[in-house]
């Protein structure tokens, strides 16, 4: 395996980590106005992600930085074409962050921040999938390496289908997390949303698979003719079955683990089906960006690989320790007396 391929895998791992971890944050935000019926329940949902959401976004920043360093032309082409979409994603993430921080500061603005939290979660959850759909289907690329279409061209039926599938994936992940972190009536509503989202996700994955056969035949064929593709198919099926089994047995933890494995399988299918293409050119295939023609120099990739070999295990260990220390069920009645010391400190600082 050459250096460029190794970095292709590493960037995919970083995006997969973001989808799993910040995915439950986005999902909770999308579900927020629907399962949080009272102010206390909505506060419980905010507390459920309170100690984790900002750390989870580091995965996106790291993935973006790794993509820029390892495959600079891909970063440039993506921003030239997806600029407006990426700005909308960033605006959503910013509004979500600000709404979480400011929600408890002024009750007069509470409804505004509640809707900002919802909208700031919905936009990224949908648009990430739309971006993936366009990367699978291919986009027009100019000889200068820039995007050759319009913003509306990105909102094609196939990309929107993948966007809705990604939204269902995040909603299911968020509901699975909320079922672990809440109690009482709120937890029951989260479990119902999780079950419905899981069924809808399964149907959308089947629909997306059929659509991919017609819209991106090369991508479909790559997954069926590679060992990595079949491994990801098995991983997706196993995760989906494990999540459903956890729901049937009433195990919120195993349902969340199964949902997380399903996300890894879906992201893995995207990567395995795309390789070696990074941005396929729908107008002229020779203009597309691949692992080979878009990679940085071997020296740059080698230096970054040494840094990643040291840093990534440390980040994984730190993340595991943080989750172990802070993972507590948020009770129905959230008070300073019932929250853990860690969540109390976060609540006092931010007004969750």
Q: What is the pLDDT of residues 227-258, one digit of tens each?
A: 999 999 999 999 999 999 999 999 999 999 99
Closest CA to 223 of 278, 273, 277: 273
The conformation of residue 104, written as its DSSP 8-state character, comes to T
Residue 351: band (very low, low, confident or very high) from pLDDT cuts 50, 70, 90? low
**What average pLDDT does range 49-77 have in this prediction?**
88
Number of domains in the chain: 1
Q: Provide the residue range defining the domain that includes 66.
A: 3-350
Alpha helical stretches, state H, 103-226: 110-137, 151-154, 157-181, 184-215, 217-224
What distance in Å separates the CA atoms of residue 44 and residue 104, rounded to the nearest whole number? 12
Closest CA to 8 of 300, 292, 311: 292
**Rg of the chain over CA atoms, in angstroms?**
20
Residue 190, both tokens:
């989260």
Residue 352: band (very low, low, confident or very high) from pLDDT cuts 50, 70, 90? low
Residue 346: band (very low, low, confident or very high) from pLDDT cuts 50, 70, 90? very low
Evaluate whether 48 touches 177 at the Cβ level (below 8 Å): yes
Of residues 284 and 263, more confidence is placed in: 263
Residue 316: band (very low, low, confident or very high) from pLDDT cuts 50, 70, 90? confident
Residue 54, both tokens:
């900002």
What distance in Å separates the CA atoms of residue 274 and residue 266, rounded to the nearest whole number? 12
Which of 62-71, 92-101, 144-153, 209-218 is predicted least confidently?
A: 144-153
Model's pTM, two decimal places?
Answer: 0.90
Evaluate whether 108 touches 126 at the Cβ level (below 8 Å): no
Residue 104: band (very low, low, confident or very high) from pLDDT cuts 50, 70, 90? confident
Q: What is the CA 23 to chain-centroid distance, rounded?
A: 4
What pLDDT is recorded for position 230? 97
CA 168-177-100 angle, to 5 degrees, is 90
Per-residue pLDDT of 174-223, as tens digits, reads 999 999 999 999 999 999 999 999 999 999 999 999 999 999 999 999 99
């Amino acid at each position: 395996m050459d250096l460029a391929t190794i970095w292709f895998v590493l960037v995919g791992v970083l995006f997969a980590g973001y989808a799993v971890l910040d995915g439950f944050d986005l999902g909770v935000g999308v579900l927020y106005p629907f399962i949080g019926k009272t102010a206390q329940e909505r506060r419980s949902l905010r507390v459920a992600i309170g100690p984790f959401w900002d750390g989870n976004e580091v995965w996106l920043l790291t993935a973006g930085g790794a993509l820029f360093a390892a495959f600079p032309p891909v970063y440039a082409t993506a921003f030239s074409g997806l600029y407006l979409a990426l700005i909308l994603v960033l605006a959503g993430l910013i509004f979500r962050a600000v709404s979480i921080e400011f929600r408890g500061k002024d009750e007069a603005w509470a409804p505004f921040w509640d809707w900002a939290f919802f909208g700031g979660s919905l936009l990224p959850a949908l648009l990430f999938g739309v971006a993936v759909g366009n990367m699978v289907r291919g986009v027009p690329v100019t000889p200068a390496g820039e995007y050759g279409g319009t913003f509306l061209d990105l909102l094609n039926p196939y990309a929107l289908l993948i966007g809705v599938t990604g939204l269902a994936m995040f909603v299911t992940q968020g509901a699975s997390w909320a079922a672990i972190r809440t109690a009482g009536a709120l937890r029951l509503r989260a479990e119902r949303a999780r079950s419905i989202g899981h069924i809808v996700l399964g149907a959308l994955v089947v629909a997306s698979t059929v659509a991919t056969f017609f819209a991106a035949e090369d991508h479909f064929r790559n997954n069926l003719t590679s060992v990595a593709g079949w491994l990801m198919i098995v991983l997706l099926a196993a995760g989906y079955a494990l999540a459903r089994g956890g729901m049937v047995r009433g195990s919120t933890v195993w349902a969340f683990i199964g949902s997380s494995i399903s996300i890894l399988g879906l992201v893995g299918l995207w990567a395995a089906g795309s390789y070696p293409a990074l941005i396929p050119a729908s107008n002229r295939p020779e203009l597309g960006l691949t692992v080979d023609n878009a990679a940085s120099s071997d020296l740059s990739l080698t230096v970054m690989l040494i840094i990643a070999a040291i840093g990534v295990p440390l980040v994984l260990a730190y993340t595991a320790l943080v989750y172990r220390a802070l993972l507590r069920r948020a009770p129905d009645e959230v008070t300073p007396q019932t929250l853990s010391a860690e969540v109390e400190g976060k609540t006092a600082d931010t007004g969750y």
